[in-house]
Amino acid sequence: MDATPIIQLIDKAKHIGLILPQNPNHDVLVSAEVMAKFLVSRAICVGMITRLDSALVDRDTILPILASLKPPTKEFIISLDTTTAPISQLRYEHTPTSVDIILSPSSHSILQDNISFRQGHIQCDCIIALGIEDIKQIDKTMRDTTAAPFSEIPLIAMDIASNHAQYGQINLIDPTCCSLTELIYRFLTSIPHYVIPAQSATLLLSGILHKSAGFAQITNADTLLTSHELMGIGADYKAAHILAHAATSSLLIPLIGRALARSRVDDEKKIIWSCVTQSDFLATRNQPKDMSNVLDRMRKEFPHMRACVLLWQYPNHQEIHASIAADTQLLELLREKTNGEYHDMHIELADTYDSFVSAEHQIAALLDDVL
C-alpha cells in the first residue's frame, strides 16, 4: 500500500477533521481512536465533525482521545456595516496579550450597532472520512456542521465497501479487508518510521475480532496474517477479545435478548428469522438505528446461516420494515433487486409491509430467487 499521497497531505496540515458514520460500530470507533492517536503524534489538532452520541465514546479507558475530541475550531468574523459606517483605514496592533483591530472612520463615528460577530468556516486543512461509502452522508454532515461545502476542503476517504463512491480527493478503499481496522493497520504500517503502539494494536485487533465474529465469518488469509502481526507488535489478544464482545452496549442486551428469543431457524435454506415489535421498542427504549447491532449479534450467534432476516415495527407506525444481514455477494444481489439501503454488513429493504406474516412470505420468495 502506497501511503505517500495521504502522508503528504497530512504533513501539510495543522488542523484535520474526522467524519464517521452517524451510528458507528465498534470497528469504526476504534479505527477513529487509532487514527486520531496517530495524527496527534504528529502534532496535528484533530476535531470531530460528526456529532456522536456521548454514550458511544464515553469509554475513556479504551477511547481516551476520541472521548476528548471537540468539534473543529471555527474562524471568528468581526463584521462592520460599511454602508452606515464607512472607513478610511483598517489596521491592527499586536501585543503580548491582545490583538487590537483599529478602524478609522471616514466620515461618521463608528457605533457598536455597526459591528456584528459571527462564526466562519471550520479550520480544517483536510478531512478524513472513515467507513462512509456514500458522498451524500458527507454532504449532510457538513451542512449540519459548517457553511463550507466539503468540496472546498481536501478529503481523504478510507473504507472497505465494495461499492464505495470514490468521492475523496484521495480514496483508500480495500474491499478485501474484513474490517476498517485492518485497512487502518495496513495504512499505518506503510508509513516509514511509524511504530504502532501496543495499545493501538489491541484496539485494531478488537475491531477485526468484532467484525469477523472471532474469525468465524472469514477465510481471508491476509486478515489472519494481519491479526498475527498485530499480536507480534504487542496486541493483547485476550483484552481485544473482551473489547470485541463488550462492544455491544448493555443498553442493547434486552432488545437483543427479545430478538434472539423469537428467532426461528430454517435449516434447509440456512436462514434465521426474527422480529422486533412495537412493545419491544417501548420496553427497551431502543431506536431503529439499533437494528444493525441486533443483526450483528444474530450473525455471531448463528455464523453458519446464509442470511439473517430481522422484521421490525417502530411505535406509532403501521408499516413493517425488514433488514437483512448476509455476506457481501448476497447483499449486492438483494440490493439490486430491492433498491435497499446498504448499512455496513446488512441492508434495509426499501419496501415496507402490512404485517409480519406478509413480510415473511414476500421476503422468503425474494430470498428463494437469490439463494
Q: What is the pLDDT of residues 280-328, one digit of tens each?
A: 998 887 888 788 888 988 888 888 899 999 999 998 888 999 999 998 8
Phi, psi of 320 (to 5 degrees): -100, 130
More confident residue, 55 or 233: 233
pLDDT of residue 59: 52
pLDDT digits (tens, 9 = 90+) for 96-119: 999 999 999 998 899 999 999 998
**Cα gap 222→220, rounded to integer Å:** 5
Task: Tell me how far apart the alpha carbons of residues 152 and 320 are, in angstroms, rounded to a whole number.
Answer: 41
CA atoms within 13 A on the CB side of 15: 16
Q: Is 316 left (phi over 0), alpha (psi -120 to 50) or beta?
A: left
The answer to whether 154 touches 126, Cβ cutoff 8 Å, is: yes
- Rounded to 10 degrees, the C-alpha dihedral 176/179/184/190 comes to -30
Report the C-alpha gap between 257 and 265 in whole angstroms.
16
The reported pLDDT for the residue numbered 141 is 55
pLDDT at res. 73 = 87
- What b/e sequence results for 60-77 when a residue is b if at least 16 CB atoms lie within 10 Å of its CB, and e otherwise? eebbebbbebeebebeee
- CATH classification number, 252-370, choose in 3.10.310.30, 3.40.50.300, 1.10.3720.10, 2.115.10.20: 3.10.310.30
Cβ atoms of residues 309 and 274 within 8 Å: yes
Three-state DSSP class for residue 181: helix
Grid coordinates of 72: 473543529
Phi, psi (degrees; rounded to nearest 5) at 291: -60, -30
Number of neighbouring beta carbons within 10 Å of residue 32: 29
Percent of the chain's residues with pLDDT above 90: 57
* Cβ contact 18:47 at 8 Å: yes
Task: Report residue 192 CA to chain centroid gap.
Answer: 27
Looking at the chain, the domain(s) classified CATH 3.90.1640.10 span 4-72+123-194
Cβ pair 262, 294 in contact under 8 A: no
In angstroms, the CA 240 to CA 206 distance is: 4
- Residue 185 CB partners (closer than 8 Å, separation 6+): 196, 204, 226, 229, 230
Please give the pLDDT value at position 290: 83
- In whole angstroms, what is the distance from residue 97 CA to residue 78 CA? 19
Q: What are phi and psi of 264, to 5 degrees?
A: -135, 130
Provide the pLDDT for residue 147.
47
* Contacts for 77 with CB less than 8 Å, ≥ 6 apart: 117, 118, 119, 120
Q: How far apart are CA 207 and CA 241, in angstroms?
A: 9
Residue labelled with grid coordinates 478602524? 103
Q: Mean pLDDT across the chain, nearest whole number? A: 88
* Number of C-beta neighbours around residue 212 at 10 A: 23
CB 74 within 8 A of CB 123: yes
First vs last Cα of the chain: how many Å apart? 35
Among the ranges given (83-87, 143-147, 192-196, 332-336), the one the predictor scored with the smallest mean pLDDT = 143-147
Start-end of CATH 3.10.310.30 domains in the chain: 252-370
- pLDDT for 252 equals 79
**Tens-digit pLDDT profile for residues 21-67:** 877 888 999 999 999 999 999 999 999 998 877 656 655 568 999 98
Angle between helices 26-41 and 198-212 (to 10 degrees): 160
Res. 18: pLDDT tops 80: yes
Are 14 and 125 within 8 A, CB to CB? yes
Q: Return the CATH number of 4-72+123-194, one of 3.90.1640.10, 3.40.1780.10, 3.40.1360.10, 3.90.1150.10.
A: 3.90.1640.10
List, in order, residues 6 or more apart from 60 with CB less than 8 Å away. 67
| pLDDT score for 266 | 93
Q: Would you state the cell numbers that stand for residue 354, as one nine-digit string?
A: 402490512
Dist CA 104 CA 85 (whole Å): 10
